Amino acid sequence: MTRGSAMHDYLSRWSGGLKESRLSWTFKFLGRIITLSGMPDLVELRPEGIFITDYKVTENPPRDKATWICSGCNTAVKKSGSKFLCPNCGEIARSAAYRTVETAQARSSHILQINLYGLLIEKNLRQVAAALGATGSPPVCGGEVLYLPPTLPMRCPVPYNRETTMLSSRKA
Ligand SMILES: [Zn+2]
C-alpha cells in the first residue's frame, strides 16, 4: 500500500505526458471479437517518438549478473570461496579469469506488457498524439520498466517490437 502510493507520488511529480490513461483495441480474430485493454503508467513524447514507462513496485528487481570466465578456454568458471574452478582447466589462478557483467533485463512478462501498450498506442494513435500535443503521427520508439525496490530505482530499457508482440498476443 505505502509503496503503491509512493509510485503515484513519483508519477505526480512528472509534469508532462499522459498518466494512467486507459487504451483499448477491439479486433476480430478467428471469428471472435477480442478486446485488448491496458493502462500504461506514463506515456511521453520524446524526440524519437512515443515512449512508455511502467513502474513496478517490487522487493526483488532484476539485477546485473556478474560471471567469471576462464581466459584460457572462455568458459564460465565456478567460484568457490577464493578458488576459481574451470570445468575444462580445473582450478585456475584468479589472474587467469576475467569478469563479465550482464546488464539487468526487464522481466519477460513486463517486456511483453510494454510492447502490448505500444500496440495499443498505435491503434489509438490519433487520440494519444493529440493528448501529447504531437503534430503528425509519431512512432512508438520504446519504453522502460522502472523497478521500485525498497532501495534505489532500477531502469530497464525495453525495445518496441511490433511483430513479436502481434504473434504473442495471438497465442495468448
Ligand atoms: Zn578453462
Q: Return d(Cα 118, Cα 137) in angstroms, integer.
A: 14
- Expressed in angstroms and rounded, the spacing between residue 29 Cα and the centre of ligand 1 is 52
Range 2-61+105-171 has CATH code 3.30.450.20: no
Q: Return d(Cα 31, Cα 26) in angstroms, integer.
A: 13
pLDDT value for 3: 54
- Expressed in angstroms and rounded, the spacing between residue 97 Cα and the centre of ligand 1 is 9
For the whole model, what pTM was predicted? Answer: 0.75
Dihedrals φ, ψ of 111, to 5°?
A: -65, -45
pLDDT value for 21: 80
Q: Helix, strand, coil: what percent of the chain each, to 5?
A: 25, 40, 35
- Expressed in angstroms and rounded, the spacing between residue 105 Cα and the centre of ligand 1 is 28
- Expressed in angstroms and rounded, the spacing between residue 70 Cα and the centre of ligand 1 is 5
Give the chain's residues under pLDDT 50. 1
- Expressed in angstroms and rounded, the spacing between residue 71 Cα and the centre of ligand 1 is 7
pLDDT value for 117: 94
- Expressed in angstroms and rounded, the spacing between residue 63 Cα and the centre of ligand 1 is 26
pLDDT per position as a tens digit, 52-99: 999 999 999 999 999 999 999 999 999 988 899 999 999 999 999 999
